[in-house]
Structure 1
Amino acid sequence: MNFLEILGQVKTHVEALFKADHQKKLVYHNVVHTEHVAKHAVELANFYRLNDRDLFIVVAASWFHDIGYMEKWEQHELRGADAAAIYLTDKGVDADTVQEVKDCIMATMMPQNPKNLLQQIICDSDLYHLGSDDFKDRNKMMRQETENLLGKSIDKSVWRMGTIKLMESHHYHTQYCQDKLNAKKQINLDDLKSKVKKELSGKEIERLQGVERIEGTDNIPDTPRVEYTISVQATPDNMLNNSGAGIAIADNGAKGKKGKKNKDRPDKGIETMFRISSGNHQRLSDMADNKAHIMISTNSIILSVILSILLRKLEDNPHLIAPTLLLLIICVVTMVFSILATRPSVPPGTFTPEEIANKSTNLLFFGNFYRMGLPEYDAGIHKMMEDREFLYGSLIKDVYSQGVVLGRKYRLLRIAYNVFMFGIVASVLAFIIAMAFSM
């Protein structure tokens, strides 16, 4: 089956449906948003190297996932899934593939709960804008569309507070989006909080004290449909601080309760910092390994040439013995340092109950537990997760250890590159001098 050809037909079909729909209310959930979701689904599919069938599933689901909005917003995912099934079945797509497309569309229903990688890709593509530069414009469009659907205006500050709650409860499912979008998403979230903080002063505080919810949005998917209470402290400066005082936003089932932030819960900004740092260190480590591989491969080739060709001719050309030995030594030394840069060290792989009690071991690094039994590791990791200080301490140790290993790798690599660079120059000069004196 030619999945790519059918995808082209799906694209044309959905674009025609949106073009034929003359509703002016859909400012956000329109063909532009659908194109963005499909584009990002392709981006993630390429990163994860999906085969043609899986690529077809996520992209087809992207095109169909919001067409239900053209009728009404309630259960639009279900109508989109049904429309996709009818169209794809008519095109001869097998039942299993059609079902996976439907499952991907249904996975975008809020709150998102994807079951596999394909569903994670469509979910992250659908809310990709939360961590992009387009967030402000897309959020304005979403508010305008919600006002159109409700037939009344929504206070800007009220919408922002609902968006803050939505963003704080959301998380990207794929590692790709976590690494690429979380930092910008945090910036967008901080910007919203800053704007709300500025607005919550004087008369604005008094006016917003009585607001309890964004009325009418309970059945509108993808909107900040939350209930919240607003508690005013002594000064506006206390609003939206790290402890959660000032504004307490609660879920629908907890109306009237103060949304005090759990102090034991890791802060998202700190989590993002650790995630980005670890990711950067891993990429630097991969770069170092690649550089070492280049040095090893290059010098292996040179050694092969020296041993197979040049050494045979030294009896007839004794003046080349010294330059050849120099080049041989340089290649060997370069290879030794390159191998040392990539040679793994093997820690003992054990930890003791005392180390767990003292929080002196890092259970996030395999070298500290690979010889331990599962029950001991399970008990240790649960103790770490329950203790904020232990958890953050382990993350700090992990990042630090990565840095120490990277420092050693790059020091050895620098020596290898310096030996090779200056050694090659010295060898070439030695060959030139030897040839000049032999004439």
Structure 2
Amino acid sequence: MSKSLIEDTQEFVFNLIKNELPNTFIYHNYTHTERVLRSIKEIIENSDVTEKEAEILKLSALLHDVGYIKGCENHEEESVKIATTFLKEKNADEELIKAVTDCIMATKFDTKPSGKLDKIIRDADSSHFGKDYFREASEFLRKELEVQGRVAFTPSEWRKENIEMLTNDHEFYTEYALKNWQSQKEKNLAKLLKKKKKRKKKLNIEKLKAKYKAQYKDESASRGVQTFYRVALRNHIKLSDIADTKANILLSVNAIIISVVLANLISKLDNNPYLTWPTVIFTLFCVVSMILSIIATRPNVTSGQFTKEDVKNQKVNLSFFGNFHKMELEDFEWAIGEMVNDRDYIYKALTKDLYFLGVVLERKYRLLRITYTVFMIGIIVSLISFAIAIKTNPGSDIDDVLTTYNQKTQKELDGQSYLGFNGFH
């Protein structure tokens, strides 16, 4: 055996694959080539193979997939061309080249091997079926097909393909492979069948769940109807909270304004009588705004009673406390039992609740709009009236301030004279 030829071929294949093979070949790469070469050596060591046959098999293992650098189609033929050119450059004899190319062509999966060397190279090329790394290698092949855009398998579809391959399409030909790899192949097949069974059981459970869910959905209220009532009622309650918050803001603002007016402005009206009417107008609008805010937020509690006839005729809405707060617990429990046993009654009660919430909201927001309008007009009118009053009485405030300042200064001077006189005596 020409050891240097094997080494040169190995180096040639490594550099060729590294430099020219696209990185989309996740499975058919140098790792696969080395795996096939190891399997070839394993069979050679445990079979009756001559030194010349061993050289042919090792060269075939190294060169059998180099045609992938030209593409997937007819890669065996391309591998033969590359191998022939390389071996001729290495001055290999024609008999060796012919034997190697025949072995390469024997790796075509759609052909059945006939000779001893053909069977050995075929078993080595598909040795991963009988190895414990079968799952890993199989997944790399699936990913390669997907990345290259050739075909995309789901995990369950790929499992089905592998089961079909191991059951019907693949077989080992050499005595060594049948004795040593077949048992692991059967274990790999058993694992696939077990996963398929587990997946089938899971799918059956999911189908059963979906069936019961659909049945329950048909018997119960529509999800869309439930969502409508839930969202609509929640939105109405939020809007009611917003209205109450707005009314409280107006109450607080007007209360502060009136406090400031009473504490500071009214006490100065004696010296500034021309500010009386602007102050009255300003205060009046604030009071009106406060009254309207109180009316908008004032609760309205209903009678809180109902009769059995009202429940039987579905005239009472039991979702609102104002309709039952004066009833006995036993009567209320009976009424709830009647309502929950009738889906139409529940929807009718929710509809009534939604409607009357809308009526209350309309009243609140209408009063709030009036209140804000009154407050805005009051601010504008008050400012105008204050401006008119000050304009028609120019200098009044300055004269009052100067008079007050002179009086205060005179008092201080008189006090100092008094203290100085007493100190002198």
**TM-score if structure 2 supplies the norm length?**
0.46
Larger radius of gyration, structure 1 or 2? Answer: 2
User: Which structure has more RCO (C-alpha within 8 Å, separation ≥ 6)?
Assistant: 2
More helix by share: 2
**TM-score if structure 1 supplies the norm length?**
0.45
